[in-house]
Amino acid sequence: MPVTITFLGAAGTVTGSTYLVSDGTTKILVDCGIFQGNREWRQHNWDDPSFNSSEISAILLTHAHIDHIGMLPRYQKFGLNAPIYSSPATAELAELLLLDSGRLQEEEASYRSETGRSRHHPPLPLYTEADAQECVKRLRPVAINSDVNVSAGISARWSPMGHILGACSLTLELGGKRIVFSGDIGRYGEPVLLDPQPVPMGDLLLIESTYGDRLHDHSHDVHDILADVINKTTKRGGVTLIPSFAVGRTQSLLYYLRELKAAKRIPDIPVIIDSPMASDATQIYQRHANEYDQQARELLARGFQPFQLPKMYFVRGRDESIALNSIQEPMVLISASGMLTGGRILHHLKHRVSDRRNTVLFVGFQPPGSRGDWLKQGNSSLRLFGEEVSVGAEIAEISGLSAHGDRDELLRWCRSCPGTPSSVGVVHGEPESAQAFAATLRSELGWSTFVAAYKQTITV
Ligand SMILES: [Zn+2]
């Protein structure tokens, strides 16, 4: 029987990664992600699954980002009850992120019912925290870098890919074919994480192309900007406020801050992480030292924790978070969400953004039209919680930080892999980016490529 793959997401867009793989008798899913971003794609989250959920015998996850796992609790309602295999760190992060996603879905539904903006009456959450609780019971961590029998006649191997802790490519052997899913490809030389690891190519490679047509800004050093911003702000007696993603970016920041403090390039001021999720994620990062790169392992061997620095405090409770408002001394205050879409960062912003001594330091992409973009444009006031707040704080940015490899890093990984894939499907990119990267793979490596289309089924 031929092996078939159906692209149920991350085709024509960067979110909703879901692949249905069949060898004619057994069906499995690789990733099971939620659509994010524009409304048209998000509507698909409400579609009935286009496969028989109870027929799926295994689910394999590349990593724990919600656009790769966020539909698991939803499909459970349609009978999806297969074991969910992933690397050990992914299983832990997936539990954290799925429970959070369930809470957010419930919050959004109640917001929609208050504002009357919903097509469901009363508005329904996509799923609840209780659904997510049920779903995470099926997570089955497996060893990385070894062959795992995930279903009759199907073997899988997870190989580290950088990106975030636990993120891996996935090599499937089924029906006499070898299929490689790149998953999300990370950066080279990232703190703590291994570089993307080469894997032998086979009959088909499905490769992401988020930055397939672009290069990151490599023109400046993260340490230099971070030190410069913190030193200037501290001299003014101000607070450096950093909106950050809880998983990945916050841990990288802690790593850089530890280095800067150790080198005495910044003063020994408090570093406060006000986000329960970032606190949990940092603990998970600390538990998986076996997935660290050489440098981080050496650090551990010398008795240093990569994410531990003097005067670092994690804040969990709401009251503790509010109490931070009374602190007048210089400090670094890291809080989520990184895109200022919600969370405690908004309260800190409201409290601190008017004061000229303070700095708001962006460490991630701020989409056009967003609050972050508005601040970066230098506007003199900002609307927060229905109030107009004046902007006096300095607005700064470290650009080029991304968890995704750029075009040259994607190519570097391809070149590092032994063998030539018979066919390459380009996925997980906006259409222009996917087309451009498919052309680059043809011209640079001579690989035979196609750009995957939503709901398309191919035979390997
Ligand atoms: Zn990702």
How many A from CA of 165 to the centre of ligand 1?
Answer: 10
How many A from CA of 420 to the centre of ligand 1?
Answer: 25
Classify 274 as helix, strand or coil.
Answer: strand
pLDDT band at 204 (very low <50, low <70, confident <90, very high): very high
pLDDT at 448: 98
- Ranges 84-88, 206-210, 337-341, 448-452: which has the least confidence: 337-341
How many A from CA of 3 to the centre of ligand 1?
Answer: 26
How many A from CA of 90 to the centre of ligand 1?
Answer: 11
pLDDT at 118: 62
How many A from CA of 358 to the centre of ligand 1?
Answer: 32
DSSP state of 327: -
How many A from CA of 259 to the centre of ligand 1?
Answer: 26
- In the predicted model, is pLDDT for residue 449 greater than 90? yes
Question: Which H, E and C letters describe 162-220, residue by residue?
Answer: CCCCCCEEEEEEECCEEEEECCCCCCCCCCCECCCCCCCCCCEEEEECCCCCCCCCCCC
Tokens of 280: 């949990």
Classify 57 as helix, strand or coil.
Answer: strand
pLDDT band at 58 (very low <50, low <70, confident <90, very high): very high
How many A from CA of 184 to the centre of ligand 1?
Answer: 5
Q: What are phi and psi of 432, to 5 degrees?
A: -65, -45
Query: Which residues, listed in sequence order, are joined to residue 273 by a DSSP beta bridge?
Result: 314, 334
Tell me the fold of 222-397: Rossmann fold (3.40.50)
How many A from CA of 312 to the centre of ligand 1?
Answer: 27
- pLDDT tens digits, one per residue of 30-47: 999 999 888 889 999 999
pLDDT at 110: 84
pLDDT at 443: 98
How many A from CA of 65 to the centre of ligand 1?
Answer: 5
How many A from CA of 428 to the centre of ligand 1?
Answer: 10
How many A from CA of 171 to the centre of ligand 1?
Answer: 17
pTM: 0.93
How many A from CA of 390 to the centre of ligand 1?
Answer: 35
How many A from CA of 248 to the centre of ligand 1?
Answer: 10
How many A from CA of 164 to the centre of ligand 1?
Answer: 7
- pLDDT tens digits, one per residue of 295-316: 999 999 999 999 999 999 999 9
How many A from CA of 140 to the centre of ligand 1?
Answer: 20
- In the predicted model, is pLDDT for residue 403 greater than 90? yes
Average pLDDT over residues 168-187: 97
How many A from CA of 116 to the centre of ligand 1?
Answer: 33
- In the predicted model, is pLDDT for residue 396 greater than 80? yes
What ranges do the domains of the chain cover? 4-214+403-459, 222-397
- Ranges 15-19, 34-38, 171-175: which has the least confidence: 34-38
* Summary mean pLDDT of the chain: 95
How many A from CA of 123 to the centre of ligand 1?
Answer: 29
Q: Which CATH number, 3.60.15.10, 3.40.50.1860, 3.40.50.720, 3.40.50.150, labels domain 4-214+403-459?
A: 3.60.15.10
- In the predicted model, is pLDDT for residue 342 greater than 90? no
pLDDT band at 218 (very low <50, low <70, confident <90, very high): confident
- In the predicted model, is pLDDT for residue 400 greater than 90? no
How many A from CA of 63 to the centre of ligand 1?
Answer: 7
How many A from CA of 255 to the centre of ligand 1?
Answer: 20
pLDDT band at 343 (very low <50, low <70, confident <90, very high): confident
Q: Tell me which residue of 93, 103, 82 sits closest to 20, measured CA to CA.
A: 82
pLDDT at 367: 80
How many A from CA of 425 to the centre of ligand 1?
Answer: 18
How many A from CA of 444 to the centre of ligand 1?
Answer: 25
pLDDT band at 121 (very low <50, low <70, confident <90, very high): low
How many A from CA of 62 to the centre of ligand 1?
Answer: 9
How many A from CA of 82 to the centre of ligand 1?
Answer: 23
How many A from CA of 166 to the centre of ligand 1?
Answer: 11
Above pLDDT 90, what percent of the chain? 89
Q: What is the DSSP string of 275-323?
A: -HHHHHHHHHHHHTGGGB-HHHHHHHHTT--TT--TTEEEE-SHHHHHH
pLDDT band at 368 (very low <50, low <70, confident <90, very high): confident
pLDDT at 120: 66
How many A from CA of 351 to the centre of ligand 1?
Answer: 32
- In the predicted model, is pLDDT for residue 18 greater than 70? yes
Angle (nearest 5°) at CA 255 between 254 and 261: 85
How many A from CA of 195 to the centre of ligand 1?
Answer: 15
- In the predicted model, is pLDDT for residue 339 greater than 90? no
How many A from CA of 107 to the centre of ligand 1?
Answer: 24
